[in-house]
Amino acid sequence: MRYLDPKADLTFKRVFGEHPDLVMSFLNALLPLSPGQEVTEIEYLPVELVPDNPLRKNSIVDVRCRDNQGRIFLVEMQMIWSSEFKQRVLFNASKAYVRQLDTGENYELLQPVYSLNLVNDIFELDLDDEFYHYYRLVHTEHTEKVIEGLHLVFVELPKFTPQNYSDKKMQVLWLRYLTEINERTREVPKEFLANPELKKAVKALEESAFTDAQLAGYEKFWDIISVEKTLFSSAERRGMRRGLEEGMKKGLEEGKKEGIKEGIKEGIKEGKKEVARSLKMAGIPTAIIMESTGLSEVEIEDL
């Protein structure tokens, strides 16, 4: 039996966007929900229509749903990390929170929004052993004091390694599912088959369950992701190398360490410019280049 990777657009939406019982199990395992606050019933919400982004349209996969308490859950698979991703997650979660009320309605009707973001990349380089990151609004000195409303969770999938967490068995199983099952899988782990939800989720990935057209789209998805990664990484490397060379030269000339620091900063900026320059040559709209690189319209026009 051949299986597909659950992180792709086609498969992720098949598993979590068509099976309420599976997405409920997934949310209960991955979200920081208190005992008694587990998700017991959900309805899917339509995915918000956004302008077509030829650069990132295939690198983001999301599922939106609401439970019987009115809580909103945004689940997203991010294939490629970018510096503006956290801000975009905050923006989308805030927008979902605000849109719960019509003009004049009572603020007490607002329910929490949980944004669960699975990232197939490493972005917290200084936190070696931490793959799970939970953000919420807390008092800086008294962290037990919380303003309820937004809950943002980021999971760095490449950092995850299975361990014997007896109290987080389902979390480990679901993360293993996302990181271990793919086209190379020939034998499904017994732990998956022994669990009803995981067994069903694995079956949903069987190649025979998809049409030829769907399989062609699946292959295209990974081709596009590969191209995007190459584009960004090569541009960043060129920019960093150029910036470091200029920084070293400046530091030696001025006899100051500040020159090297400034060179590193310049290298990061040059990396973004290299990305923007490549996208501009490819005919990508300026607005999309601004979103992808963080550069201003003027900076892009001057390239």
Comparing 7-11, 110-114, 255-259, the range with the smallest average pLDDT is 255-259
pLDDT given for residue 53 in this prediction? 43
State how far the Cα of 295 lies from the Cα of 303, in Å rounded to an integer. Answer: 11
Q: Is residue 61 part of a domain?
A: yes
Alpha-carbon distance of 268 to 291, in angstroms, equals: 16
Classify residue 241: in a domain, yes or no.
no
Structural domain includes residue 91:
yes
Segment 273-293 mean pLDDT: 75
* Per-residue model confidence (pLDDT) at position 54: 42
Range of the domain at 189: 9-209
- Residues 59 and 232: beta-carbon distance below 8 Å: no
Q: What percent of the chain has pLDDT over 70?
A: 80
Specify the number of domains making up the chain.
1
Contact 254, 17 (CB under 8 A): no
Q: Residue 187 falls within a domain, yes or no?
A: yes
Kindly state whether residue 186 falls inside one of the protein's structural domains: yes
Name the amino acid, one letter, at 61.
V
> For strand 113-119 and strand 132-138, is the pairing parallel, antiparallel, or unpaired?
unpaired
In this structure, what token pair is assigned to residue 30? Answer: 């991955």
Instruction: Tell me if 72 is assigned to some domain.
Output: yes
Q: What are phi and psi of 246, to 5 degrees?
A: -65, -35
Residues in CB range of 17: below 8 A, 6 or more apart: 23, 44, 63
Q: Note whether residue 282 is domain-resident.
A: no
- pLDDT tens-digit series, residues 147-188: 999 999 999 999 998 875 556 889 999 999 999 999 999 899
Contact 23, 65 (CB under 8 A): yes
Structure letter (DSSP) for residue 168: G
**CA–CA–CA angle 63, 224, 18 (5° rounding):** 25
In-domain check, residue 269: no
**pLDDT exceeds 50 at position 250:** yes
Q: What is the pLDDT of residues 99-144, one digit of tens each?
A: 888 756 788 889 999 999 999 999 998 888 899 999 999 999 998 9
Confidence bin at 79 (pLDDT 50/70/90): confident
Backbone angles phi, psi at 137, to 5 degrees: -85, 110
- Residue whose pair of structure tokens reads 């598993």 in the numeric block: 15
- pLDDT, mean over the chain: 83
